[in-house]
Every structure is written in structure tokens, then in C-alpha cells.
Chains A and B, each alone.
Chain A
């Protein structure tokens, strides 16, 4: 018992918080990567997350492709789709005010979600966890469902991998350089438009990956991303979009805070992230990890 709360309930909600945090981290990481280079707030991020989950579901039901392959294929498919959208439409908006990018991707999200709702209905569809990851282990103080542990580990691994890609590789160096000064980087012979397309595809692919991870936990439904994306926006405002690492850390942190709120004051658990956002804006407008623009 801690503060009159049974340890098991506390650990359970902590785990739920860590899992939500994993999704916040993956999604805000993708948003930050896209925003860093494209200066576009990708409102379609929630829709791309949903697309990832649906792709996994359709791969299974139509093609008989299992979870593990879907975990690789679905992000690739979502990324390819995003690349096509970027090449054909989004790239025309870079010269304009960034708000147009936000409005465009908002429309894109509505169109994608509307289409899936038309064909698959609004109700959720179950997606079974792979047999290797079903079941639970007894940790002594609580039962840990194996799949949930896997989600935390997998998302952490991917977040670290993306961070390494951006901070430690040559491609990442190009990316960071193009964020600072795209014209100069292009003058050095780097294909910046291609870099932009790849970046958008990477961000969307991350959302798709999060969607596949989420499919066995939450049900697969056309609207699964739309409410999530607003919370992720708040996460991004709290973290500040200046740093990749900041986006990841803030994602996990706020997920855990939300989980703990569910234990101590459940009525506020829906809004605690927004409240934190408001407080951070008052005390430190640039965000916890942000640089004032």
C-alpha cells in the first residue's frame, strides 16, 4: 500500500501509462522529425497511425500475413502512401505560410478517416496478439501481460534507433543540415526535395509502426487516431519541437503522469496532459526542451 493505494493497482496504471507514453513518444517523435525539416504540422499523423493498424489487419485477414511481417510491411506501405501524397500535393505548399500545411493535412486526415468509416464502419475490430507474445508473467508484485511489455521495449528501441539515425549517421547529418539551411545544403549537391519526401515518409512510417503495435491492445477502428493526435499535439507543445530527444522523453513522461492521475484522481485523467500544457505555457512558453523561435 502506498498512500492508501494497493501496490498492484499502482503498478498496473503505471504500466498503462508507460504504454500510452510509448505511443505518445513514437507519434510526437514522428511529428517532430517532420516539423523539423518540412515546417509542417502533420495533422494526418493520427490517420496514418490508424492506417498502420488497418494495414496490419487487412494483411492478416486478406493476405494471411502474420504480425511480425506486418510490423515491417505496414510502416513501409504507410510510408509509401505518405511519400506519394508529399510528392504530388504537400510539396506545393512549402513556400506558403506553414498554416496551410496544417490545414491540408487536416483535410487529408478527414478524407482518410471518412473513407475507412464508409467501408469498415465505426466499430472496432479485434486483432489478436501473436502467439509468441500472448500470456503473462508473474513479476512477484504484479502480472505483466507479455505483449504490453513488448510494446514498451519495441517502441523504446525504435525511438532510440531513430535518434541514432538522425544524430549519428551521414543521412541524419544531411537532414540536420537541411533543417538549418536547405538552400545551402542543396548547393552542396544534396537532393533536398528527395530528403523532404523521405523525411515525411519516415515520420508517417513511425506513425504506421505505432498503429501496428497498438492494434492488439486497442481495437482497430477508423477513429482510433483522431482523438490521440490532439493529445500528441499537447505533448509536442509541452516538449517543444526543437529536439528529437525532448519529444521522446516528454512522450513517456506525460504517459506515466496520465497513468498516475488515473490512480489518484481519475476524473482528471482525460485532461491532465492539457492542464500540464497550460502550466508549461505560462511558466516556459518555449516548452521544456524547446528553443524560443
Chain B
């Protein structure tokens, strides 16, 4: 969808000579903040934020860098949550093995769904992914291991590598932070690899990529599986953090939520989805105590974002004079 994004207006801005160092410093500051954060905020809230930040980043890998709008990412997130929860609780696996199973399960789901969905483009792609994830939702509703409406409850967090007790919320927080950082590094590496460049070229002009001899379908499928696997990593983490996996995680509303996070933060930016996830999670926390339904606000924010600032918060900053002077640029 980035193919037709508006060109950035305004005169050319020279990049600050130390832009690279400033960017690195910003990342370092963010890392220090993340390490210190549990001293000031609830660890469970922060962990939720990290899990959804990773989920949105995984989604953005597909939308922002490949130009494919998936309306079915809840299937990977929620599916992995079920797989991890089941492995850890029923089979007694260690948390890292459970997470791995979640990732592999989500990747397998992504392979099947992706292979079907990439047969159509654009708007059809979105509808097909939505329909397939709804099919998975009905499967989860009826399958025995998911326990239907109850979901999988009281999932043990266990001991990481058999040593570190994850029931301690600080240990758990740093584990989640490490997984989150790992996921982001994978995404960053992926996007900036030759493979990622080909994905961007497919996004910009699919026909030309075909004419240059790239097997577009295979690249799209690979990106889809990659995005599904990382969404699964986030879903597995979520199951360990909250110690349950339910139908909410596989419902279509969850697919909508992750789109909103990405759109709000900035499609095609690395930091955008994380900011977007932070905003949405904070909003949900804030509204959890009132009886005002979140969906109204979600819906209105969606409409406002699409109508007025399609670049998202981080995207707008990147497009501003200061952002460009610091050498930031949105991929879209």
C-alpha cells in the first residue's frame, strides 16, 4: 500500500553530519530506558507492551516492507499462544521449547495460509487472509486442546533453561525484553538484507520485479512465513506472560488491533509499530476500568489515521524537517 504514498513535500534537507551517531545514541537511550522501566512501571504492563510491540513489528514486516496487508495475523499470534501454552502446561516442556514450538507452529500456519492468499493481490489478499484466519478461529473454537470458550488457563512459566525462575516477575521481564530485542534485530537484519531489498522492489512495482526475473510469489511467501513466525514468537510470549491463551487472541478483532498499532505508529518504520503498540496498550489499560467501550475509540482512531495522518506518528516525525535532518526516513 506504500506504492502510492504521497511524496514528502518541502525542500531538500541536508543530513546532519553526525546523524548516524545520533541515531545510535537514541537506540542506546531506548535500551537503557527499557532496562530501567520496571523500577517505575508495572512489569506485567511493560511485558504486554513488549509482546504487542513485537507483534506489530512482525506485522509491519509484511505490510511496511512487502506491501501486503494481512487481515489474519491473529491466527499466528493466537495460534502460537495456544501451541506454547499447551506444550508448557500439558506436555511439561520448558518455556524456551514451548516458545519454539509456538514459532514453528505459526510458521507452518503461515506457510499454508500464505500459499493460498498470495494467489490474489491487494484488496483480495486482505479479504482472503481474513477469511482463512476466521476459519482457524472456528477450528480453535471446536478443537479439544484449546478448551473452547475457557481457553488454556494457568499456564506455568517454568524455569528458563532449567535455571532461571520465570515466576519472578523481574526475571520474566528481562527474558521478555531479550526475546523482544532478538525479534527486532532479526527484523532489522531481514529488512536491510538483499532479500529485504527485493521485497521492497516487489512492493514498489511487482511487474518490474517479475520482469527482472525474480520469482515474486516465492519472495512474498517467504516474507509471509517470516512475519507469521515472528508474530508467533510474540503470541507465545503473551501466553507465558499472562499465563493463559484464549479465543480473544485468534479473533479477527486482534488482527484489526495490530493493523491499528502499525498504522498509528507509522507503516514502514522500525520504531513506529512499537510506539503504536504502546499507545494502544496504554489506552486499553486506561479504559479497562471505565465501561466506555474501547471499540468506539479504536474505530474513530482508525478513521482519523486513514483520513488525516497516514504516515503515523513516527512516520510524521521522520518526514518532518528535524527527522530528515537526523537521517531518518520511512521506507514507504
Residues of A within 8 A of B (CB): 41, 89, 92-93, 96-100, 102-104, 106-115, 117-118, 226, 230-231, 233-234, 236-237, 267, 270-271, 274-275, 277-278, 281-282, 285, 293
Listed A/B pairs (22) with beta-carbon separation below 8 Å? A97-B1, A97-B122, A99-B122, A100-B310, A102-B123, A103-B302, A104-B303, A106-B259, A107-B298, A107-B299, A107-B300, A108-B299, A110-B256, A111-B302, A113-B295, A114-B293, A226-B252, A230-B131, A231-B134, A271-B138, A281-B120, A285-B120
Known A97-B4, A117-B293, A118-B293; judge A108-B303 contact (CB<8 A). Answer: yes
Q: How many A-B residue pairs have CB under 8 A?
A: 124
B3–A97 contact, CB under 8 A? Answer: yes
A281 to B124, CA, bound (A): 11
- Residues in chain B near residue A93, CB distance under 8 A: 306-307
Known A102-B126, A104-B306; judge A267-B299 contact (CB<8 A). Answer: no
Known A99-B69, A104-B303, A111-B303; judge A282-B119 contact (CB<8 A). Answer: yes
A92–B307 contact, CB under 8 A? Answer: yes
Residues of B within 8 A of A (CB): 1, 3-4, 69, 116-117, 119-124, 126-128, 130-132, 134-135, 138-139, 141-142, 252, 256, 259, 263, 292-303, 305-307, 310
B126–A281 contact, CB under 8 A? Answer: no
| Minimum CB–CB distance for A280 against chain B, Å | 10
A107 to B305, CA, bound (A): 10
A275 to B134, CA, bound (A): 11
A274 to B252, CA, bound (A): 15
- Residues in chain B near residue A236, CB distance under 8 A: 127
A103–B123 contact, CB under 8 A? Answer: no
A98 to B128, CA, bound (A): 15
- Residues in chain B near residue A275, CB distance under 8 A: 135
B135–A274 contact, CB under 8 A? Answer: yes
- Residues in chain B near residue A226, CB distance under 8 A: 252
- Residues in chain B near residue A98, CB distance under 8 A: 122-123
| Minimum CB–CB distance for B176 against chain A, Å | 29
A103–B306 contact, CB under 8 A? Answer: yes
Chain B residue nearest in CB terms to A122: B293
| Minimum CB–CB distance for B315 against chain A, Å | 14
B130–A230 contact, CB under 8 A? Answer: yes
Instruction: Add 6 more A-B contacts to A96-B4, A99-B123, A237-B128 (CB < 8 A).
Output: A100-B310, A106-B259, A109-B299, A118-B296, A271-B135, A278-B116
Q: Which of B259, B300, B302, B306 has the most CB of A within 10 A?
A: B306
